[in-house]
């Protein structure tokens, strides 16, 4: 059987085998299901095989569009793959490695079906390699475009998040100067300046976490033993002071002691409550509920807010860094790093975070094992401390 015919006849099996390889490319592959791992591989193979059966150089053969992007640009399966791998957090080396694996899998399986290769077979091999190289070039080009867009968006987000606290600091300083000049009553500008400066520090802390998560193989933790209900109750109480017009309710049930990184869990719960206060219906309460699950092996922290349901497509992208909920959304939903950092904290504890949104409201669920077995430690843990 000719190579192109072999590919067309076995495309699903070859794509599945390549998907298995993609599943080893961690940490990005961790959050993807089988379908996402093999997505577009079969289409790429079919296109390469179809091109092999046509004449002319690879770059001039069929331009079968797999998808049209938001700008109306027709994209091939390889280009879509490049876009997706960038968005899913694969490195460029991992994206290239998938093509290397695809080439090896196809050729190994094909050679198993024939005892030797004659001249026509070598010609097919050359055409197949051209096709793979063309697909790789298309994918890497799109990958680099997506990374550049991400970087621009990242700088836009950073600039936006810093502008309001800076505006507050400048206005408050202006007010202080006016008050001093006129010797009038001092406005409460000093407190505002302090809050705005703290807000800037918080943006920079998030930024540092984002960078560390990306380049150091994920967040590292310092675990210690404590009770999750006490921590959450304290977070709810502290945050109530900062939002006097909103009620933050708290409830808990069961034995909620375990071993986690106290500072990081505090940060995760604060981020979830901040998110609920910001995006929930105004003047409605936020509920923080803590309970056991998985027969006492896990603790679940749920943060619930009222408000219109979040569309499923937006829900999927909420935990990705710097990904906009929708192109038309000008409210700012899912800009920022808060939920991404919650996901990283959950993952570093061997847990997960999930969101569910219905007409009854939106609930974010942080699920972490009580035991410290799955924790990614910094090597400076203090497991015995109470």
Partner 1 sequence: MAQRLLVPSMNETTAETHVRTVLVVDDSRDYVEALCWLLQELTRWRAAPVCTIAEAIEHIEHQRPDAVLLDLQMPPSSGFHFLDVLSAKFKERLPAVYVVSGNAELLDRARGDQRVKAAAIKPADPESLAEWLNAMPTS
Exposure string for 196-231, b = 16+ CB within 10 A, e = fewer: beebbebbeebbebbeebeeeebbbbbbbbbbbbeb
Least Å distance, CB 304 to partner 1, is 15
Q: Which 131-190 residues touch partner 1, going by CB under 8 A?
A: 156, 159-168, 170-172, 174-175, 178, 187-189
Q: Which helix (H) or strand (E) holds 258?
A: strand 257-260
Least Å distance, CB 83 to partner 1, is 21
- Whichever of 145 and 175 has its CB closer to partner 1, that residue is 175
Any contact of residue 338 with partner 1 (CB under 8 A)? no
- Scanning 57-118, the segments in alpha helix (DSSP H) are 77-88, 92-112
- Whichever of 181 and 373 has its CB closer to partner 1, that residue is 181
Select from 203, 333, 342, 353 the one that contacts partner 1 (CB under 8 A): 333
Classify 300 as helix, strand or coil: strand
- Whichever of 108 and 198 has its CB closer to partner 1, that residue is 198
Classify 366 as helix, strand or coil: strand
Least Å distance, CB 168 to partner 1, is 4
- Whichever of 282 and 379 has its CB closer to partner 1, that residue is 282
- Whichever of 89 and 338 has its CB closer to partner 1, that residue is 338
- Token output for 19: 């998907």
- Whichever of 116 and 159 has its CB closer to partner 1, that residue is 159
Q: Which 268-297 residues touch partner 1, going by CB under 8 A?
A: 278-283
Distance CA 287, CA 45 (A): 50
| Distance set, CA 80 to CA 49, 127, 138, 358, 359 (Å) | 18, 22, 9, 31, 34
- Token output for 293: 């699950």
- Say how many C-beta atoms besides its own lie within 10 A of residue 69's C-beta: 12
The count of chain residues that interact with partner 1, using the rule CB under 8 A, is 38
Q: Which residues bind partner 1 (CB under 8 A)?
A: 156, 159-168, 170-172, 174-175, 178, 187-189, 192, 195-196, 244-245, 278-283, 307-308, 330-333, 335
């Amino acid at each position: 059987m000719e190579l192109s015919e072999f590919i067309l006849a076995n495309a699903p099996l070859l794509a599945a085998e390549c998907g298995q390889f993609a599943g080893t490319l961690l940490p990005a592959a961790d959050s993807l299901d089988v379908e996402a791992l093999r997505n577009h591989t079969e289409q790429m193979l079919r296109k390469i095989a179809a091109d092999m059966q046509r004449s002319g150089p690879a770059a001039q053969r069929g331009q079968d569009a797999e998808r049209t992007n938001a700008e109306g640009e027709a994209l091939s399966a390889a280009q879509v793959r490049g876009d997706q791998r960038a968005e899913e957090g694969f490195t460029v080396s991992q994206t290239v490695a998938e093509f290397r694996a695809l080439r090896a899998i196809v050729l190994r399986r094909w050679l198993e079906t024939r005892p030797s290769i004659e001249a026509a077979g070598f010609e097919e091999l050359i055409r197949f390699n051209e096709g793979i190289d063309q697909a790789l070039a298309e994918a890497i080009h799109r990958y680099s475009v997506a990374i550049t867009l991400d970087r621009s968006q990242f700088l836009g987000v950073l600039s936006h998040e810093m502008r309001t606290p800076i505006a507050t600091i400048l206005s408050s300083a202006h007010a202080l100067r006016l008050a001093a000049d006129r010797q009038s009553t001092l406005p409460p500008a000093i407190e505002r300046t302090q809050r705005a400066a703290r807000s800037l520090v918080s943006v920079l802390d998030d930024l540092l976490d984002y960078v560390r998560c990306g380049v150091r193989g994920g967040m590292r933790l310092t675990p210690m033993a404590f009770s999750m209900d006490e921590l959450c109750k304290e977070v709810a109480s502290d945050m109530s002071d900062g939002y006097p017009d909103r009620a933050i309710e708290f409830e808990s049930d069961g034995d909620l002691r375990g071993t986690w990184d106290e500072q990081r869990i505090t940060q995760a719960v604060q981020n979830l409550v901040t998110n609920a206060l910001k995006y929930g219906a105004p003047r409605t309460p936020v509920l923080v509920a803590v309970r056991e699950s998985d027969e006492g092996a896990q603790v679940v922290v749920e943060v619930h807010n009222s408000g219109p349901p979040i569309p499923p497509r937006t829900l999927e992208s909420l935990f990705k860094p710097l990904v906009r909920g929708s192109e038309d959304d000008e409210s700012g939903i899912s800009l920022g790093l808060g939920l991404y950092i919650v996901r990283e904290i959950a993952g570093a504890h061997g847990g997960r975070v999930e969101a569910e949104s219905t007409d009854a409201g939106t609930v974010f669920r942080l699920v972490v094992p009580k035991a410290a077995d799955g924790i990614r430690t910094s090597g400076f843990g203090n497991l015995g401390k109470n």
